[in-house]
Structure 1
Amino acid sequence: MKSSEYIELEDRFGAKNYKPLDVVLERGEGVWVWDVDGKKYMDCLSAYSAVNQGHCHPKIKKAMLEQVEKLTLTSRAFRNDQLGPFYEELCALTGSHKVLPMNSGAEAVETAIKAVRKWGYLVKGVPEDRAEIIVCADNFHGRTITIVGFSTDPTSRKGFGPFTPGFKVIPFGDFKALENAITPDTVGFLVEPIQGEAGVIIPPDGYFKKVREICTANNVSLILDEIQTGLGRTGKLLAEEHEEIEADLTLIGKALSGGFYPVSAVLSNSEVLGVLKPGEHGSTFGGNPLACAVARAALKVLTEENLIDNARDVGAKFLAGLKEIKNPKIKEIRGRGLLLAVEFKSDAGGARSYCEKLKEQGLLCKETHNNIIRFAPPLVITPEQVDWALERINPTLST
Structure 2
Amino acid sequence: MSGVWLTAAFLGLLFLFLGTGVWIGLSLIGVSAFGMALFTPRPVGDAMAITVWGMSSSWTLTALPLFIWMGEILFRSKLSENLFRGLTPLMSRLPGGLLHVNVAGCAIFAAISGSSAATVATVGKMSIPELRRRRYPERMIVGTLAGAGTLGLLIPPSIILIIYGVTVNESIAQLFIAGVLPGIMLAGLFMGYVAIWGLLTRNAGALEETRASWQEKLSGLWQLAPVLLLIVFVIGSIYAGIATATEAAVFGVAGALALSALQGSLTRKSFMDSLLGATRTASMIALILAGSAFLSLAMGFTGLPRALATTIAGWELSPIALIVALTVFYIVLGCFLDGISAVVLTMAVIEPLVRSSGFDMIWFGIYLVVVVEMAQITPPVGFNLFVLQGMTGRDMAFIARAAAPMFVLMVLAVALLVAFPDIATFLPRQMMGR
- Fold match (TM-score > 0.5): no
More strand as a share of residues: 1
More helix as a share of residues: 2
Larger radius of gyration: 2
Q: Taking structure 1 as the reference length, what is the TM-score of the superposition?
A: 0.29
Structure possessing the higher relative contact order (Cα contacts under 8 Å, 6 or more residues apart): 2
